[in-house]
Amino acid sequence: MKEKMQDGEKPYEKFVKYGAESLTEQELLAVILRTGTKNCSAMELAGCILSLSKRKNGLNMLHHISLNELMNIPGIGEVKAVKVKCIAELAKRMAQQKVEEQLKFDKPETVASYFMEELRHEEKEKILLLSLDNKLHLIEKYILSIGTINASLLSTREVFVQALKNQASFIMLLHNHPSGDPVPSKQDIAITKKIKEAGELIEINVLDHIIIGNGCYVSLKEYGLL
C-alpha cells in the first residue's frame, strides 16, 4: 500500500513513492529539467514552459515551439531546451510505435492513426508514398514532396519507379494539411486521379489517398473520389 502523498513533496521524490501517474504535467516537466537556477526552481521553469505551450493551444504545440523560444525563458539554456524537444519527439514516436505493432494497411483509420502524430504537427505539406505488399503490410514509406502540392510538379514516374523497386503490390498516398482541415482540394483530387490511372496501366492498385488534419483525416476512397 502506497503512502499518503504529502503537500510540498518534490516531484522526483513524489515519482519514486507514488509513480509517474501521480505527477502533474508541470511536475513531469520539472523532473525532466532536473534543476532550476539560483532564482527559479525547476517547477517554476516547468510552469513557464507550460504557459508558453498553453498560449499555443496545449502540450502538442511543444512540437512547434522552437529552441530559441524555449531558450528565451530565463533559466532555460540549450541543454534544457533540447531535452524538452526530445521528449516531444519521443512522445510522437511512441504513439506511432503503438499502432505499428498490429499494423495492417487495410483500413483508412488505421493508416491515419499511424501517421497522425508524425504529420499533424508539420508546418509544410508533405506527401508520402506507401509501398505495400500483397497482405497490405508496409514495405516502405517514401517522401515524394515537401511544400505546396502541385499535380504538375509531382512525378508519376517517380511514384511507380519507387513502387516497382519495392516490388509493391499496392500503393497508397498520404499527405497533411498544415491548416488542420483535411478536406481535399482540387489539386489533391487531380493528383489522385492521375496516379490511379497510371497505376491501372501497370497493374499496381492505388488503394487510397489519405489527408491528415489536426486530429482528423479524410480518405478519398471513403469520399468516393477514388
Q: How far apart are CA 159 and CA 147, in angstroms?
A: 17
pLDDT digits (tens, 9 = 90+) for 16-26: 999 989 999 88
Which structural domains are found in the chain, ordered by start? 11-97 (1.10.150), 105-219 (3.40.140.10)
Band the pLDDT of 82: cuts 50, 70, 90.
very high
Least confident of 25-39, 146-160, 190-204, 207-221: 146-160
pLDDT digits (tens, 9 = 90+) for 124-157: 899 999 999 998 988 889 999 887 655 445 788 9
Average pLDDT (191-196) is 92
